[in-house]
C-alpha cells in the first residue's frame, strides 16, 4: 500500500474520510498486484466483466448506468469568487453556496464502501510539465481507468514529497441520481468534486476536470497553455520529425488525425506519422522561445463506434489488450466486444450495451451506445511517438484549428500572424451534420474547441493566448483546416483520413517558409500546385473549388462572429475586434 508523510495530504484525506465515512481506506500504489486484486473484486461484484483473455488479454467490459452515458455540461460548474471570472460560457455558482450543497451530498456517501486514494500525475513524473493530484473515489472502475489514463501510485507520492501543491479531487458514485449530479471545479482552490455519475468523462478527473478546466486556469496564472489538442509528429523522407498540435470540435476526426497513416505513396517515399496525444496538450514556451508541448495523459478514452480497420487501424490495434471497454455490445459466442461499424458482422448471440439479449439487428436497437468508449494505454498504440515520454515535450512547428463547415472555410488557410491566428481559433465553429444533406447546418461556435473546458472567462483566455504569443518570436504558425466541404449533392469533396497528410505537408512547408502562398481576405491560401493530389480521385478544378472563398458567405460569417463576440460582456480583447474589422474590410475591398 502506498504511503506518504506529506502532512497537507494526510490532513486533507482525513477531512474527506470524516465527510464520506467509508468503511475502509485503500491507498493506490500503482502495483500490478493491487490492480489485479481490484480487477478480481470488480468482476466479483459485476462492476467489470472479464473478456476473452486469449483474444483480448487484460481487457474488461464495464457498463455505466443508462442515465449516465456522457459528459453533462448542464451539471458542470466553475465555482470561483466572482461570476465574471467564470464568464458567460460556464455554469457558475459561488463556492459559499456550492461547497455546502456538495458536502451535504457527500456526507456519508461511502458508508459500507471502500474509499480509494489515487495519487496521480498529469505529465511524466518529475518533468517540468508534471502536476500532481489526488482523486478519492468509491469506484473501482475509476481506480482502474485512472491507472490507464494517468500515472498513478507511490512514484507520484515520492515526487510530490512534502509539497502542499496538489490538486484535490473527490468523487462518489452515490446513487447516480441525475438530478443531483454535479461535476464541479473550484479553480481558485485547485479542487474538483464530482458526484452521482460513474461515466468516465465526468469522473476520470485527470482528464477534462484537471487537465483542461483546472489546468487552463493554472496556465493563465503561470504563463502556459492547457489545450484541447492532439499532438502529432510528421516525419518527412529526410527523417526530420515536425510537430503539430491541433484542436477540433467533436465529430471532426481528431483521434483519426492523431493516429493518421500516411497514404501508400507517401509511405513509399519515407513519410511516417507519430502520435504524441489525441486529446490534450500542455504547452510551455521553452528557453529557445519555441512552444514545447506534452500530452499529460497516459491513455486514450476514445469513442468506439466507427473505429475499424479502415477508419483507424491504429486505434483498433490499441484496444486489443489492457483495455476497459464501456457500454459496448458483448459477443456471448466468444466473450469479445462489438460496436457499430466495427465490421459488417454484428454478433447474433450478444448482449447490447444495456446488458439485454441482442441478436445483432442494428435496425431495431443499437449494440453499443453511440458514446461507448475504450480506455487504453497510449503505449499500446502502434504509432506512439518515441518522444511521448520525453520530459521536455516536443517543439511545435504549427498549431492547427479546424471545424466541420460545408461551404465557408476552405480546405486549409494560414493566419497572417499570431494575433490573426488567435482570432482564427476564437471563431472556430462546426455545423451540425446537416452538411450530409447538402444543407448548411446550424453553426455552433467552439473557440479553440475549449467551450466546455475553459476554467475561466473565455475572453480572458483569448487575451492569454495573445500574451503568450507576444512573448516570443519563435512561436508556431497558426492554420485552419476543413476536411468537410461538400458539393452540390452534399457529398464530401476531400477524401480525408490518411490523405489529410497532403494538407499537413503544405502546412509544414509553410511553417518552414518553404513554399509561397496567395494572399486572400481571410489569410494565406495554397497555390493549387502546392497541394499534392497525385493518386487521389480529385481534379485540380475540385481542389481550386475547395480553396475558394465565397465572400458573401464570409460576410454573413462576420455578422455571426460579431453577435458571438457581443455575448462576452464587453471583455473580448480589442485586438480580436480589430481582427474582425480587418476581415470585414478585406472582404469589402
Ligand atoms: C472527449 C470530448 O471525450 O472531448 O474527449 O468530449
Ligand atoms: Mn476531448
Please determine, for residue 435, whether its predicted confidence score (pLDDT) is greater than 70: no
- Atom 2 of ligand 1, nearest CA residue: 250
Which residue is it, cell 455578422? 559
Q: Do 160 and 139 sit in the same domain of this protein? A: yes
| Ligand 1 atom index nearest CA of 71 | 6
| Ligand 1 atom index nearest CA of 279 | 5
**Torsion over CA of 511, 514, 518 and 524, rounded to 10 degrees?**
0
> Using 50, 70 and 90 to split pLDDT, how confident is the model at 437?
very low
| Ligand 1 atom index nearest CA of 228 | 4
Q: How crowded is the C-beta side of 31, counted as CA atoms within 13 Å? A: 9
Catalytic choice (252, 275, 381, 454): 252
Higher pLDDT, 436 or 151: 151
Assess if residue 56 is contained within a domain: no
Domain region containing 198: 7-30+71-222
DSSP state of 476: P
Percentage of the chain surpassing pLDDT 70? 99
Distance CA 424, CA 401 (A): 8
Please determine, for residue 587, whether its predicted confidence score (pLDDT) is greater than 80: yes
Between the CA of 256 and the centroid of ligand 2 the distance, in Å, is 13
Please determine, for residue 57, whether its predicted confidence score (pLDDT) is greater than 60: yes
- Atom 5 of ligand 1, nearest CA residue: 279
Distance CA 55, CA 251 (A): 30
> Using 50, 70 and 90 to split pLDDT, how confident is the model at 2?
confident
* CA of 371, nearest ligand number: 1
Q: Do 118 and 161 sit in the same domain of this protein? A: yes
For residue 252, indicate whether it is catalytic: yes
pLDDT at residue number 198: 97
| Ligand 1 atom index nearest CA of 303 | 3
Between the CA of 448 and the centroid of ligand 2 the distance, in Å, is 12
SS3 call for 475: coil
User: Which of 345, 380, 415 represents a domain boundary (last residue)?
Assistant: 380
> Using 50, 70 and 90 to split pLDDT, how confident is the model at 441?
confident
SS3 call for 29: coil
- Atom 4 of ligand 1, nearest CA residue: 250
Between the CA of 277 and the centroid of ligand 2 the distance, in Å, is 11
Assess if residue 42 is contained within a domain: no
Q: Do 358 and 437 sit in the same domain of this protein? A: no
pLDDT at residue number 364: 87
Distance CA 404, CA 434 (A): 11
Percentage of the chain surpassing pLDDT 90? 96
Q: Do 318 and 376 sit in the same domain of this protein? A: yes
Q: Do 351 and 207 sit in the same domain of this protein? A: no
- Atom 3 of ligand 1, nearest CA residue: 201
What is the tens place of the pLDDT at every residue in 455-514?
Answer: 999 999 999 999 999 999 899 999 999 999 999 999 999 999 999 999 999 999 999 999
Q: Do 320 and 466 sit in the same domain of this protein? A: no
Distance CA 446, CA 564 (A): 11
Pocket test for ligand 1, best of 149, 203, 208 (most atoms within 8 A of CB): 208
> Using 50, 70 and 90 to split pLDDT, how confident is the model at 439?
low
How many residues are there in the chain? 589
What is the tens place of the pLDDT at every residue in 323-343?
Answer: 999 999 999 999 999 999 999
> Using 50, 70 and 90 to split pLDDT, how confident is the model at 167?
very high
Q: Do 167 and 264 sit in the same domain of this protein? A: no
What is the pTM assigned to this prediction? 0.97
**Torsion over CA of 226, 230, 236 and 238, rounded to 10 degrees?**
40
CATH number at residue 507: 3.90.228.20
Pairing mode, strands 394-402 and 241-247:
parallel
pLDDT at residue number 575: 98
Q: Do 361 and 422 sit in the same domain of this protein? A: no
Q: Do 167 and 112 sit in the same domain of this protein? A: yes
Positive/negative CA dihedral, 157, 162, 168, 171: positive
Pocket test for ligand 1, best of 69, 71, 374 (most atoms within 8 A of CB): 71
* Composition of the chain by helix, strand, coil, percent to 5: 35, 25, 45
What is the tens place of the pLDDT at every residue in 365-375?
Answer: 999 999 999 99
pLDDT at residue number 363: 86
- Count up the domains in the chain and report the number: 3
Please determine, for residue 562, whether its predicted confidence score (pLDDT) is greater than 90: yes
Q: Do 409 and 512 sit in the same domain of this protein? A: yes
Pairing mode, strands 357-358 and 350-351:
antiparallel
Distance CA 427, CA 402 (A): 10
pLDDT at residue number 250: 85
Structure-block grid coordinates of residue 103: 458536502
Closest residue by Cα to residue 305 from 55, 69, 57: 69
Assess if residue 589 is contained within a domain: no
Distance CA 349, CA 361 (A): 11
Closest residue by Cα to residue 298 from 153, 126, 147, 139: 147
Tell me, rounded to whole angstroms, the distance of Cα 291 from its chain centroid: 19
What is the tens place of the pLDDT at every residue in 339-362?
Answer: 999 999 999 999 999 999 999 998
DSSP readout, 353-388?
A: TTS-EE-S-TTTS-SS-TT-EEEEEGGG-TTB-TTT
Closest residue by Cα to residue 218 from 253, 249, 188, 263: 188
Assess if residue 489 is contained within a domain: yes
Assess if residue 41 is contained within a domain: no
Assess if residue 458 is contained within a domain: yes
Between the CA of 276 and the centroid of ligand 2 the distance, in Å, is 15
Assess if residue 406 is contained within a domain: yes
Burial of 517 (0-12, 13-18, 19+ CB in 10 A): middle
SS3 call for 185: strand
pLDDT at residue number 433: 61
Between the CA of 512 and the centroid of ligand 1 the distance, in Å, is 32
Assess if residue 39 is contained within a domain: no
Q: Do 283 and 329 sit in the same domain of this protein? A: no
Q: Do 412 and 543 sit in the same domain of this protein? A: yes
Please determine, for residue 559, whether its predicted confidence score (pLDDT) is greater than 90: yes
Between the CA of 279 and the centroid of ligand 2 the distance, in Å, is 5
Name the strand (E) or helix (H) holding 230: strand 230-235
CATH number at residue 376: 2.170.8.10
What is the tens place of the pLDDT at every residue in 268-295?
Answer: 999 999 999 999 999 999 999 999 999 9
CATH number at residue 165: 3.40.449.10
User: Which of 380, 403, 418 represents a domain boundary (last residue)?
Assistant: 380
pLDDT at residue number 434: 43
Closest residue by Cα to residue 546 from 435, 410, 430: 410
| Mean pLDDT value across the chain | 96
Please determine, for residue 436, whether its predicted confidence score (pLDDT) is greater than 70: no
Q: Give the residues surrounding ligand 1 with Cβ less than 6 Å away.
A: 71, 201, 250, 279, 301
User: Which of 188, 222, 256 represents a domain boundary (last residue)?
Assistant: 222
What is the tens place of the pLDDT at every residue in 59-111?
Answer: 999 999 999 999 999 999 999 999 999 999 999 999 999 999 999 999 999 99
Amino acid at each position: 500500500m502506498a504511503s506518504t508523510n506529506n502532512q497537507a495530504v494526510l490532513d486533507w484525506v482525513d477531512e474527506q474520510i470524516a465527510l464520506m465515512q467509508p468503511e475502509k481506506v485503500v491507498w493506490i500504489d500503482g502495483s500490478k498486484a493491487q490492480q489485479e486484486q481490484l480487477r478480481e473484486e470488480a468482476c466479483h461484484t459485476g462492476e467489470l466483466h472479464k473478456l476473452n483473455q486469449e483474444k483480448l488479454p487484460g481487457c474488461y467490459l464495464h457498463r455505466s448506468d443508462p442515465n449516465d452515458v456522457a459528459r453533462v455540461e448542464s451539471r458542470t460548474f466553475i465555482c470561483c469568487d466572482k461570476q465574471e471570472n467564470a464568464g458567460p460560457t460556464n455554469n457558475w455558482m459561488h463556492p459559499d453556496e456550492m461547497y455546502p450543497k456538495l458536502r451535504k451530498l457527500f456526507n456519508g456517501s461511502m458508508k459500507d464502501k471502500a474509499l480509494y486514494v489515487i495519487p496521480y500525475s498529469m505529465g511524466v513524473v518529475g518533468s517540468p510539465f508534471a502536476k500532481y493530484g489526488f482523486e478519492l473515489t468509491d469506484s473501482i472502475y475509476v481506480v482502474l481507468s485512472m491507472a490507464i489514463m494517468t500515472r498513478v501510485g507511490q512514484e507520484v507520492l515520492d515526487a510530490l514529497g512534502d509539497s502542499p501543491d496538489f490538486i484535490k479531487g473527490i468523487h462518489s458514485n452515490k446513487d447516480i441520481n441525475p438530478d443531483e449530479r454535479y461535476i464541479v471545479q473550484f479553480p481558485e482552490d485547485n479542487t474538483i468534486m464530482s458526484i452521482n455519475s460513474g461515466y468516465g468523462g465526468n469522473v476520470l478527473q485527470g482528464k477534462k476536470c484537471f487537465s483542461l478546466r483546472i489546468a487552463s486556469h493554472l496556465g493563465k496564472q503561470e504563463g502556459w497553455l492547457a489545450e484541447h489538442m492532439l499532438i502529432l509528429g510528421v516525419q518527412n523522407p529526410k527523417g526530420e520529425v515536425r510537430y503539430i498540435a491541433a484542436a477540433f470540435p467533436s465529430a471532426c476526426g481528431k483521434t483519426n488525425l492523431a493516429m493518421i497513416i500516411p497514404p501508400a505513396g507517401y509511405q513509399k517515399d519515407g513519410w511516417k506519422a507519430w502520435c504524441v496525444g489525441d486529446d490534450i496538450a500542455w504547452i510551455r514556451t521553452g528557453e529557445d522561445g519555441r512552444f514545447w508541448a506534452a500530452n499529460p495523459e497516459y491513455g486514450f478514452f476514445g469513442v468506439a463506434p466507427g473505429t475499424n480497420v479502415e477508419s483507424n487501424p491504429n486505434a483498433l490495434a490499441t484496444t486489443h489488450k489492457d483495455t476497459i471497454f464501456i457500454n459496448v455490445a458483448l459477443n456471448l459466442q466468444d466473450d469479445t466486444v462489438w460496436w457499430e461499424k466495427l465490421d459488417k458482422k454484428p454478433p447474433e448471440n450478444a448482449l447490447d450495451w444495456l446488458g439485454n439479449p441482442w441478436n445483432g439487428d442494428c435496425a431495431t436497437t443499437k449494440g453499443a451506445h453511440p458514446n461507448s468508449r475504450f480506455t487504453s494505454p497510449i503505449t499500446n498504440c502502434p504509432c506512439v511517438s518515441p518522444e511521448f515520454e520525453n520530459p521536455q515535450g516536443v517543439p511545435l512547428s504549427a498549431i492547427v484549428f479546424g471545424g466541420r463547415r460545408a461551404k465557408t472555410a476552405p480546405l486549409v488557410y494560414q493566419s497572417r500572424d499570431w494575433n490573426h491566428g488567435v482570432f482564427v481559433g476564437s471563431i472556430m465553429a462546426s455545423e451540425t451534420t446537416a452538411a450530409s444533406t447538402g444543407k448548411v447546418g446550424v453553426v455552433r461556435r467552439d473557440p479553440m474547441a475549449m467551450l466546455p473546458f475553459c476554467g475561466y472567462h473565455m475572453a480572458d483566455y483569448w487575451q492569454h493566448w495573445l500574451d503568450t504569443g507576444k512573448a516570443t518570436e519563435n512561436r508556431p504558425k497558426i492554420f485552419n483546416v476543413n476536411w468537410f466541404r461538400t458539393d452540390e449533392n452534399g457529398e464530401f469533396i476531400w477524401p480525408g483520413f490518411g490523405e489529410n497528410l497532403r494538407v499537413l505537408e503544405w502546412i509544414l512547408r509553410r511553417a518552414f517558409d518553404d513554399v509561397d502562398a496567395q494572399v486572400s481576405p481571410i489569410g494565406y491560401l495554397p497555390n493549387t500546385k502546392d497541394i499534392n493530389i497525385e493518386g487521389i480521385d480529385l481534379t485540380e478544378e475540385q481542389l481550386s473549388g475547395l480553396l475558394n472563398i465565397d465572400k458573401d458567405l464570409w460576410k454573413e460569417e462576420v455578422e455571426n462572429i460579431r453577435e458571438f463576440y457581443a455575448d462576452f460582456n464587453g471583455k473580448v480583447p480589442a485586438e480580436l475586434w480589430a481582427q474582425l474589422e480587418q476581415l470585414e474590410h478585406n472582404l469589402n475591398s
